[in-house]
Amino acid sequence: MLRQLGMITAVWVPLCLAAYAFGSSYGPLYYSFMAALLLGLLLGLWLIAPLRDYWASLSGRSRAVITILTLATLFGQLVADSGRSFPFPRWDMYTISEAPERAVVHQVIGTTASGREFRVRPGLYIPSLGRSRYRSGIETLSERLRAEPEGAAEARLDLERMLKLLARAYNGRHESDPLTSIGVRRLEIEYRDPETAGHRRAESVYAVRIGGTGP
Least separation in angstroms between CB 211 and other proteins: 18
Q: How far is the CB of 203 from other proteins (least distance, A)?
A: 14
DSSP string, the chain: -HHHHHHHHHHHHHHHHHHHHH--SS-HHHHHHHHHHHHHHHHHHHT-HHHHHHHHHS-HHHHHHHHHHHHHHHHHHH-S-HHHHTTS----TT-S----SEEEEEEEEEEETT--EEE--HHHH-GGGTTTHHHHHHHHHHHHHHHSTTT-HHHHHHHHHHHHHHHHHHHHH-SSS-EEEEEEEEEEEE-SSTTTTT-EEEEEEEEEETTS---
- Minimum CB distance to other proteins, residue 40 (Å): 9
Q: How many residues bind other proteins (CB under 8 A)?
A: 79
Residues in region 165-184 near other proteins by CB under 8 A = 165
Residues 13, 18, 45, 147: which binds other proteins (CB under 8 A)?
A: 45
Per-residue x/- mask for other proteins, residues 122 to 151, rule CB under 8 A?
-x--xxxxxxxxxxxx--xx----------
Smallest gap from Cβ 137 to other proteins, in A, equals 5
Tell me: does residue 14 bind other proteins (CB under 8 A). Answer: no
String of contacts with other proteins for each residue 70-109, x by CB under 8 A: x--xx--x----xxxxxx-xxxxxxxxxxxx--xxx-x--
